[in-house]
Amino acid sequence: MTEVVPIRTAIISVSDKMGVVDLAQGLQRAGVRILSTGGTRSHLEKSGVEVEDIAEYTDFPEMLDGRLKTLHPRIFGGILAKRDQPEHMETIDEYDIDPIDLIVVNLYPFAATAGRAGATRDEVIEQIDIGGPSLVRAAAKNHAHVAVSTSPEQYGELLSALESQGGTGEKLRRQLAHEAFEHTAAYDRGIADYLAGESVSRDFPTSLHFSLRRKTQLRYGENPHQRAAVYSDNRVRTANLVSARQISGKELSYNNLLDLDAALEIVRGLNEPAVSVIKHNNPCGAATADKLVTACDKALAGDPLSAFGSVLGFNRTVDVATAEALCEPGLFIEAIVAPDFAAAAVGLLTTKPRWRENVRLMQVGRLDEPGQTLQRRFISGGVLVQDADSLPSIPLQWETVTDTEVPEVLWDDLAFAWEMVRYVKSNAIVLAKDTSLIGVGAGQMSRVDSVEIAIEKAGDRVPGSVLASDAFFPFADSIAAAAEAGIAAIIQPGGSRRDDEVIEACDRHGIALVMTGRRHFRH
């Protein structure tokens, strides 16, 4: 491979025109001949750059409403010819083909068009680029002799190489070729996913492909000895953390991102103003109320000790009143995710005392749409894929199975507890009162252990509260513990061989029992 390849002729044809004028002017100063098409050519000429129309060079006009522009032997022969093979050079000379040393191409905005509300299918299909990927792939294949740029972020390095060494070095061309094939692979993946989405089949696809782009490297992973990075999935259009705007605070950690994602997931599906408090990927507090500040106070009161150093999720714009509540002495918050933050609230949350100077504020935008419908989880040798556990609860299908009836005032708490238990690691038990979490038992090997932990966390607030269990009770021992603590009603899926024993125990202790018929395991 040739170390430094001079740039004498370049093709520039871009949809994203950011920085392209500066690049073209730099090439022109270096005496590079520039070939271009349509809108790019007009854009460069308006800025005073001398450009040769590709149609004039090929002596073949654009046609088919612009679908056919660059697919011509004079173009691809100039890109694909191996400069170190005399036969190749004699052939292109015979057919009056000039070597092309640099391809600057980025592709039609297919993903943006496909994701735009109201875009028709015809509009989306017209954004499937044909000539662009062909140019990129040809140049990347022949990177021994040709440089290819697919992103404005690469322009500065190209110009620096041109200025310092008169062309592109081997290392740079290899790097650009790798990024070019990543670019076309992601582009094709987006098209395939769009077409797959039109299928009426509800089956899982026979093959699954990931097209992710590294957004940033993190300082470390779950522990300091582990390396980590975060990658973005451009197919995700709903509000999410990776595309969120960080308003303030120091760099997010691996664990911060996991906890913020959990916080966002909880509040996303709640209609009333809601707040979640997350510690180690489990909720230690959550609440709904008619006002956000009230929900915030209730959520933080769920487990005040665990709330120290937690992350918070909101489903409404964080207002001044809520920010003032968060600034109470003795409270330390690592990060907050919300649709938006009032300007004055940002001021309160990012000024002294000291922790506020580093609190991460993440603005994700509106939460109108549900989160991802499929969940992916990597295991050794492959990936597990399942439907997300995001289906709304159907209270009309719930059944009170005890003779003891549910007091009318407890139905809202039961519905809230049942919504919350799906976000707790199984075996999961939650206690709720006044539509707020007051006790959580998470991730225990025994369900009765989870019950006892939740009761201990709730303390003297247990009497009159409700309990939700993510799966059935295998024995009646949990009912005895709940009754002794003063729990008034229980909601659980049912389905145990000992359901009759559990129902009888509830009636014996005067506890109403509701069965939902749906389990919420979260491993």
Instruction: Please list the active-site residues.
Output: 141, 280
Phi/psi at 282 (nearest 5 deg)? Answer: -120, 145
Q: Name beta bridge partners: 5.
A: 168
19: nearest Cα among 129, 158, 146, 136: 158
Locate the DSSP E strands across 15-89: 33-36, 52-53
What's at 369, amino acid-wise? Answer: E
DSSP state for residue 153 in the 8-state scheme: G
Contact 54, 75 (CB under 8 A): yes
Q: Rounded to whole angstroms, what are the CA distances from 25 to 21, 29, 33? A: 6, 6, 11
Q: What distance in Å separates the CA atoms of residue 343 and residue 259, rounded to the nearest whole number?
A: 25
Locate the DSSP E strands across 210-365: 213-218, 228-232, 245-248, 274-279, 282-288, 310-314, 333-338, 360-363
Q: Rounded to whole angstroms, what are the CA distances from 375 to 200, 204, 522? A: 20, 12, 12
How would you list the strands of the sheet with 9-14, edge to edge?
A: 52-53, 33-36, 9-14, 102-106, 147-149
Structure tokens at 290: 């008619």
Q: What distance in Å separates the CA atoms of residue 330 and residue 308, rounded to the nearest whole number?
A: 8
Contact 514, 394 (CB under 8 A): no
Q: What distance in Å separates the CA atoms of residue 436 and residue 232, rounded to the nearest whole number?
A: 33
109: nearest Cα among 138, 134, 132, 75: 132
Structure tokens at 125: 């299909």
Q: What distance in Å separates the CA atoms of residue 147 and residue 101, rounded to the nearest whole number?
A: 6
